[in-house]
Structure 1
Amino acid sequence: MNAKDIEFFRNHLNEMLQGILRQGEDTLEDMSENRESYADPADRASAESDRTFTLRLRDRDRKLIKKIEEAMQRIEDGTFGICEECGEAIGIARLKARPVTTLCIECKSKQEEEERMRGD
């Protein structure tokens, strides 16, 4: 991978991270502003369901932040874009689709097949 590609992924990962952090801040603001009391139990249940869904999304984002930080560390270490399983280069197209990936498409497919066989 050349320096231009590395810089592209560094910027892309940083943009992803900043976007997630902005969404988290927006969620905190929304949740602190929306402390309404609902007379109708159905409205209250709906609001609680929405809140729970939003919190699940933020939890997924929290996990993604960790993966983004790990990918940025791999850029610094010089191991970004190298499959952790076989040591081969991960294709640029795969990295563009999933820049936090640590496996090439062949190793990922093999891993998923093994999970299906075990019933995971």
Structure 2
Amino acid sequence: DPVDRASQEEEFSLELRNRDRERRLIKKIEKTLDKIKEDDFGFCESCGVEIGVRRLEARPTADLCIDCKTLAEIKEK
């Protein structure tokens, strides 16, 4: 049945997106753990400034300060 097939394809596509998202998150977590080991955690990779505590509490894997992240998002558009 074409409707069932379309539904299965949509579910499969969603599963692939979820797995990809999880893989990227695991890589970010591993990168963050490496930074902690190297005593380099909490500093912006772009400008070197210390990333704010509230930002790190909200997103522990953040590797850019809020200013550099905002600038990067503007450049993406």
| Band the TM-score falls in, shorter-chain normalisation | 0.7 to 0.9
1:113 Cα deviation (Å)?
Answer: 2.2
1:53 Cα deviation (Å)?
Answer: 0.8
Which one scores higher on RCO, CA 8 angstroms, separation ≥ 6?
1
How many residues are treated as equivalent by the alignment?
A: 77
Q: TM-score, normalised by structure 2?
A: 0.87
Counterpart selection for 1:80 from 35, 41, 47? 41
| Aligned equivalent of 1:66 | 27
What root-mean-square deviation, in Å, do the aligned CA atoms of Structure 1 and Structure 2 show? 1.3
Q: TM-score, normalised by structure 1?
A: 0.59
1:112 & 1:57 partners in 2: Cα distance?
Answer: 23
Q: Aligned AA for 2:58?
A: A
% identity of equivalent residues: 52
| Aligned equivalent of 1:53 | 14
Per the alignment, in what secondary structure is the counterpart of residue 73 of structure 2? helix
| Aligned equivalent of 2:70 | 109
Larger radius of gyration: 1
1:115 & 1:49 partners in 2: Cα distance?
Answer: 28
1:41 Cα deviation (Å)?
Answer: 2.3
Q: Aligned AA for 1:85?
A: S
Q: Unpaired runs of 5+ in structure 2?
A: none
Asked if residue 95 in structure 1 is aligned to residue 72 in structure 2, the reply is no
